[in-house]
Amino acid sequence: MALARNIIDIAVAAAEKEKADRIIGVNVVVGELRGIIPAQLIFCFGLMSENTLAAGAHLNLETRPLLGRCRTCQEDFAVKDYMYVCPRCEGQDIEIVSGTELRVRDIEVE
């Protein structure tokens, strides 16, 4: 619910800045590691956006997979089951390169 509130606040602020009449769509990038349940977030967004510029807007969630980079051998790989182990050299010093995103990318207005 707190996330839905923040998304609406960010989208409305951006729309007001451009003097838009209403928001039609909100595109949000969500990393796999965030553990967001899309149906729940979309439901909260729908309820909480009533009586705002974002009322009736479509919330589109673009999920990003959890990707790691081995700091030992520089291999990039998809992290499966949250196992931070390099498939090539079995190194455990892994940098997360994608999967922690949580941002409003853009909005569609008229």
Residues contributing to the site for another protein (CB under 8 A): 1-3, 6-7, 9-11, 14-15, 18, 20, 28, 33-35, 81-85, 92-94, 102-110
Q: How far is the CB of 51 from another protein (least distance, A)?
A: 20
- Judged by beta carbon, residue 2 or residue 51, the one nearer another protein is 2
Written in H, E and C, the secondary structure of the chain is: CHHHHHHHHHHHHHHHHCCCCCEEEEEEEEEHHHCCCHHHHHHHHHHHCCCCCCCCCEEEEEEECCEEEECCCCCEEECCCCCCCCCCCCCCCEEEEECCCEEEEEEEEC
Q: What tokens appear for 56 in the block?
A: 């009736």
Nearer residue to another protein within complex by CB, 33 or 42: 33
Nearest distance from C-beta of residue 32 to another protein, angstroms = 10
CB of 37 to another protein, least distance (A): 10
Q: Which two tokens stand for residue 54?
A: 């974002």
| Smallest gap from residue 83 Cβ to another protein (A) | 5
